[in-house]
Chain A
């Protein structure tokens, strides 16, 4: 399998703090790759830097043969990089439909809104019932579904998710993880940051463990799932 995303020696700073200190990782086409580690390890910063949202960063980020480092965030998205940030970030004041429309506006693949809405309705029936509701009034789980739908209506090749299960009812979390599995089967590659380590590893193909702004461990998900010592050392809270 060829690498879809290659990250080499990636550094990032917030002001004077050197947060990421040489991150190396690779995501191959068709995989779900988990990125785990305790709070403050640098997982969010890793996704943000790949997306181009951190002001100061160095290193190599290659996506589908294109060097991303010099490109602004919106171009990275158009190249096929989808991103569902922490805490969902549903824009206040917009309806569900407007949020979806926003995801569709700059999409490289032009599809009629009606087609997209129908498609969203089959995947997220709850959203379809609330199309003209102000999105911010929905439950946390529904907002997370919307954030995922908003990021995927443009059919990204690689979807990066930052703690999608955070603050969501367990039954919805299961449903969401099943969806990720189906998305992988449908050809979407996924880079998944999760605190819900067991669930993520059970679904994923490979996993990277982060600590102190760098990758400290890399294994097949199944192997890491069985590796209590490593999980204890880097992921226990």
Chain B
């Protein structure tokens, strides 16, 4: 353990938060889709990946990073809405396994489509100039881009929270997640709400993918591992709980990051160990409602 100072530990925890920020964005979307639509979205990783590739395509068209950051989530959100309307909607009310299988298949279609359009090898993705380099954050130098990722994720979480808590649409979403029938008998078209929720969930996945691209490049398979982690985060945080998704996302990020410092070969396993421990102690996750799955 020699050479591991407190500062290094603190920096590693900070790195974990940046990683966790990406997981938070993924898990928020998954949790929203599950909490409201009881859709377990196996294509969430594919939407993440498509987010990065839409940004690649926009860059190819001459757009700059900031334009991509704004439009990639919106475009992918629109794609998500199309998927909801055409593919998912006919399956509502048929049990949880139908949309699960559909999105599972859909993810392969999306990955294959990207392979055909962009090739099977990964594409590097430049960090915009202003975000290159490192900044002194008191405990040591930390990559600016990672700080930026934390900031964007925090802004997205705050924005989502304000939207859900402070707008009429958010009120409908919160009510609809708990009792869609009551929302319907009060004259509100729940179907349209579900469409919007799907757009938000997939848009958040795209934002996560686009933010991750400068860190690791874009590849057709980039969503696979993050999907597994997002599942863990959603389960640990509690299915359908947004606060749970945020806390669990950051926790998992930090655990991965610390594990890779102390025992790199255990980094992936540590997440699933964490999930197992949480599930044994608290089967519904941190903030999940007991019995949601029954």
Residue ranges of A at the interface with B (Cβ–Cβ < 8 Å): 51, 53, 55, 72-75, 77-78, 83, 85, 89, 91-94, 98, 101-103, 105-108, 150-151, 154
Contact = CB atoms under 8 A, between A and B. Distances in A.
Nearest to A55: B93
B186 A106 contact: yes
A94 B176 CA distance: 11
Contacts of B188: 74, 102, 105-106
Contacts of A93: 174, 178
B266 to A, nearest CB: 39
Question: Most chain-A Cβ atoms within 10 A of its Cβ — which of B181, B182, B185, B188?
Answer: B185
Interface string B170-206: 0110110011011111111110000000000000000
B175 A73 contact: no
Tell me if B's interface is mostly helix, strand, loop or mixed: helix
A85 B185 contact: yes
Contact of B187 (A55, A101, A107): A107
A101 B184 contact: no
Given A105-B168, A105-B172, A91 B178 contact: yes
B171 A103 contact: no
Contacts, number: 69
Contacts of A92: 178
A75 B93 CA distance: 20
Given A74-B190, A91-B179, A92-B178, A105 B185 contact: no
A89 B182 contact: yes
Nearest to B179: A91
Interface in B131-188: 168, 171-172, 174-175, 178-179, 181-188
A146 to B, nearest CB: 12
B187 A74 contact: yes
Given A94-B175, A154-B186, 15 more contacts: A53-B181, A53-B185, A73-B185, A77-B185, A91-B174, A93-B178, A102-B172, A102-B175, A102-B182, A103-B186, A105-B188, A106-B187, A107-B187, A108-B187, A150-B186
Contacts of B179: 89, 91
27 contacts: A51-B185, A53-B184, A72-B189, A73-B185, A74-B184, A74-B185, A74-B186, A74-B188, A74-B190, A77-B184, A77-B185, A77-B187, A83-B185, A85-B182, A85-B185, A89-B181, A91-B174, A91-B178, A93-B174, A94-B171, A102-B183, A103-B186, A105-B188, A106-B187, A150-B186, A151-B185, A151-B186
A-B interface, 5 closest residue pairs, ranked by CB to CB distance from nearest: A106-B187, A77-B187, A73-B184, A78-B187, A106-B188
A101 B185 contact: no
A92 B176 CA distance: 11
Contacts of A102: 171-172, 175, 182-183, 186, 188
Contacts of A108: 187
Contacts of B174: 91, 93-94
